[in-house]
Structure 1
Amino acid sequence: MFNKMLSSIGIGSAKVDAQLDNTQCIAGETVKGVVKIVGGKTEQQIDQIYLSVNTKYIKERDDKKYSVDVIIDKFKITDSLLVKPEEQIEFPFSFVLPEDTPLTAGRTKVWLSTGLDIKNAIDPGDKDSIEVKPSPEVAAVLEAVHTLGFSLREVETKEAPRRIRGRLPFIQEFEYVPRSGPYKGVLDEIELLFTPTGNGQVEVIMQIDKRARGLSGLFAEALGQDESYVRFEVSKTNAPEIQQTIRNIIDQYS
């Protein structure tokens, strides 16, 4: 009885550990691994084992910023089972990493949480960081922007405006500034937002922020009229020519 009481507050209870085959992945790919459970000091009934993909994003209220944890998706590994004292059990798992998982760039972190639902007890858990790499389509855009002389200044995962909010409450913005090339001194910055649309295609929203020129330019900048928003799609078909596409768009709006 005493051991059961201790297990209910997390002392001597079952332990869980998720081990991934690969900690680097691309959104839309299959993540594989195994969940290992080691029984505690007493027999425990586990209602279910689950995995969740998590990240943080920034919210702003009353001019104050704070970070919020959010579950991107959750996957059930197994139903109810009984774990005997010090028993060792393994469950292989696989799931598709959601396509709208943000990249682990800048201060954006993504991690996998493993949990055991145990009635009347503190659920033991495990956290494992994963590195989310860009898809070939997103990588083509980022490489094109870099080749045109832009340098990455900031990546921010923040609360999404309702007009562009999708399944998740946040967006991830990539902010670039022209350090060299044809747009140095012409643009202040460009910002990129990537949204998967399925079938290997990605929609890109690009904000082009022109540098103020003369009094009219300063007036437009003060009113926020120096910013242009352009949408275009990237796929395996047009990815090789995406640098020229981006250059044509910037030339048109700058």
Structure 2
Amino acid sequence: MSFFHKALASFGIGSATVDTRLEKDTYRAGEVMRGEIIVRGGQVEQQVDSIYLSINTTYVRESNDHKHTEVATLQKVKVTEPFTLAASEEKVIPISLTLPFETPISAGKTQVWIQTGLDIKNAVDPSDKDYIRVEPTSLAAQILDAIGRLGFRLREAECEQAPARFRGYYPFVQEFEFVPTGSFRGHLDELEMVFLSQSNHSAEILLQIDRKVRGIGSFFAEALEMDESYVRTTITLHDLPTLPEKFQQIISKHI
């Protein structure tokens, strides 16, 4: 009977299970996530080589005019050393994991989840998937708010594969696409922004200012993307009192 149960466990039937329980489901980028992993033994004793946690998201990669959805791992950590899990045994393992500053914000189509897995040789590895909501850092939130105060409305937010020259730790950036509804309406088609790097004290951003071209040659300007300007700048805590004015000046120079 034991051999039969072991055979079933190798296919994931009657095997160990894992369940991660976080203190909450909403976190700010850069915040420490705390909780516990509950591991329950199955019908037979099993050797667990490790338990790992990973923070994941998806991004869009374009290839040959086709869009593909890829999974990106922002961080992966090993939680335990090898151990033996007896049949029906329950283990509770406390965890803490820092959410990277570059974790995409929960906006638009963006999703972020915590994946927990048990590494068990010669068996289907049990896993658990928990989605979380990610809020921007305080600085990033004020940057987004400043753009909104200038009359820009967020139309879309999506993680896309980053060009090599703008690639940081990860193969993607989260792009925020805004449409002008205030004084820039009629001058710009759209404003796009990405966070290239972040900390509690500063954020490097890239603005793509898409001008609304008029008159003769406008078609060719758009075809050659001559109507777009790129501005790379760093925002610090010292900029916050005059942040809307700073963005106003940057954008006005390129219309």
Normalising by structure 2, report the TM-score: 0.96
Matches within 5 A, 1:47-86: 47-86=49-88
SS for the counterpart of 1:253 is: coil
What per-residue deviation string (whole Å, max 9, x for no partner) do you get for residues 60-117 of structure 1? 1111111011211101111111111111110001011112111121111000000000
Paired residues, number: 253
**Structure 1 residue aligned with 2:103, among 95, 101, 104?**
101
Give the Cα separation in 2 of the matches to 1:169 and 1:219: 32
Q: Distance in 1 between matches of 2:71 and 2:64?
A: 20
2:216 aligns to what SS in structure 1? helix
Residue 150 of structure 2 corresponds to 148
Alignment correspondent of 1:231? 232
- Quote the Cα distance in structure 2 between the aligned partners of 1:184 and 1:199: 33
Does the alignment pair 1:14 with 2:10? no
Any residues of structure 2 matched to 1:171-182 within 5 Å, and which?
171-179=173-181, 181-182=182-183
1:133 alignment counterpart: 135
1:195 counterpart letter in structure 2:
L
Distance 2:101 2:136 in 1: 11
Matches within 5 A, 1:175-190: 175-179=177-181, 181-190=182-191
Contact map agreement 1:140 1:240 (CA 8 A) in 2 = no
d(CA) in 1 for partners of 2:48 and 2:205?
A: 44
- Rounded to whole Å, the distance in 1 between the matches of 2:198 and 2:20 is 30
Q: Report how far residue 237 of structure 1 moved.
A: 2.2
Matched AA of 1:153 = R
Is the 2:178–2:191 Cα contact (8 Å) retained in structure 1? Answer: yes
Deviates more, 1:190-199 or 1:29-38: 190-199
State whether structure 2 residue 215 is matched by structure 1 residue 214.
yes
Amino acid at match of 2:239: N
Q: Give distance in 2, aligned partners of 1:120 and 1:192.
A: 47
Local SS of the residue matching 1:245: helix
Tell me how far 1:16 sits from its aligned partner. Answer: 0.2
Find the aligned partners of 1:52 and 1:222 in 2 and give their Cα distance. 42
In structure 1, runs of 5+ residues without a counterpart are none
Instruction: State the secondary structure of the residue aligned to 2:222.
Output: helix
List 4+ stretches of structure 1 deviating above 6 A. Answer: none
CA RMSD, aligned part only? 1.2
> How far did residue 240 of structure 1 move?
2.9
What CA deviation, in whole Å up to 9, does each residue of 1:166-193 have, x standing for no partner?
A: 11111111000112x2101111000001
Task: Tell me which amino acid in the other structure corresponds to 1:165.
Answer: R
Moved more, 35-44 or 221-230: 221-230
**How high is the TM-score relative to the length of structure 1?**
0.96
For 1:110 and 1:199, the matched residues in 2 are separated by: 21
Equivalent of 1:37 in 25, 36, 39: 39
For 1:90 and 1:120, the matched residues in 2 are separated by: 24
Distance 1:41 1:153 in 2: 51
CA contact 2:166–2:196 (8 Å) conserved in 1: no
* Partner Cα separation in structure 1 for residue 24 and residue 100 of structure 2: 16
Structure 1 equivalent of residue 90 of structure 2: 88
Q: Deviations over 1:26-74 (max 9, x none)?
A: 2211111100011100001100111000111111111111101121110
Quote the residue 2:25 is aligned against. 23
Q: Which ranges of structure 2 fall in alignment gaps of 5 or more residues?
A: none
Q: Which amino acid aligns with 1:213?
A: R
Residue 160 of structure 1 aligns with which residue? 162
Provide the secondary structure at the position in 2 that maps to 1:249: helix
The structural deviation recorded for 1:197 is 4.4
SS state at 2:191 partner = strand
